[in-house]
Amino acid sequence: MKKVILLCFLFVGVATVSNAQLGDLTKQATAAAASAGFDVNKIAGDVMGKLTPSLGLTAAQNPKVLGAVTDFLGKKSSILPLLASNPTKYASQFSGLFGGLQSKLGGILNPSQLTQFLSLKPKTNNASNPLSNLFF
């Protein structure tokens, strides 16, 4: 019995330390991306400036969509270095991230809004269009 309790405490301790270290890595990646010109909060604000009127977001949907977009952009910032060093790996990881964003938005938006969101994808990756940060 003592061994089981000890193992439980050990497991909780390891999980806590691992989570704390991952949190630091996320903050470091976000800070590095911001210093490289990828300011997650600014881009998220710009994206929401386009999405809110285009999708007709309600007051209840707006903060949820902002949270999903900010989370996505934060994760994207951590894989941006791969774009130059390993484009294939970037594309693979980006695809997974975008799938996660789409899934989160599917729980927030109604079906017609989700369809409208997907139709907003720019034809090319254009730095002047904030929505390019979501689709490329």
Per-residue pLDDT of 21-55, as tens digits, reads 555 544 454 444 444 568 999 999 999 999 999 99
Supply the DSSP string of 52-103, one letter for each residue: HHHHT--TTHHHHHHHHHHHHHHHHHHHHHHHHH-HHHHHHHHHHHHHHHHH
Q: Which amino acid is at 123?
A: K
| pTM, full prediction | 0.70
> Where in the chain are the domains?
2-135
User: Could you give phi then psi for residue 126, rounded to 5 degrees?
Assistant: -115, 120
pLDDT in tens, 98-130: 999 999 999 999 999 999 999 999 999 988 899
pLDDT in tens, 82-98: 988 999 999 999 999 99
* Residue 14, pLDDT above cutoff 90: no
CA distance 118 to 14: 40
DSSP H helix total and E strand total for the chain: 6, 0
